[in-house]
Amino acid sequence: GENVEQHPSTLSVQEGDSAVIKCTYSDSASNYFPWYKQELGKRPQLIIDIRSNVGEKKDQRIAVTLNKTAKHFSLHITETQPEDSAVYFCAASSRGSTLGRLYFGRGTQLTVWP
């Protein structure tokens, strides 16, 4: 099955700085890569996703990049704000073009200091 590795496990940045979280996956058949944000005591929320036919996707201060050859993808948050503090999970789906099982990374605790 798919194996998703996520780094770093914790990340502290100053408000206004950028944050980058990286993930690798093992199954070359994986073609859907979402990112979730989970605030303390809340449900995971989908914040951005990318498919394998796209190399980069942006949504305001958040961007995701995908390198299929190297089998890694990254989340970039620019101009970080204290409300960005949360646990971020990457995931990969290995079931063709329909929504299949998602395999999650271990998560990154992001802390943004004011």
Q: Which residues bind other proteins (CB under 8 A)?
A: 1, 32, 34, 42-46, 49, 89, 98-99, 101-107
**Which residue, among 2, 14, 29, 7, has the nearest Cα to 74 in the 3D structure?**
7
Closer residue to other proteins, CB minimum distance, 45 or 81: 45
Q: What's the token pair of residue 76? A: 């970039």
Nearest-angstrom CA–CA distance, 102 and 2: 9
Nearer to other proteins, 66 or 107 (CB): 107
Task: Give me the least distance between CB of 110 and other proteins, in Å please.
Answer: 15
Count of C-beta atoms within a 10 Å radius of residue 83: 8
Residue 8 or 16: which CB sits closer to other proteins?
A: 8
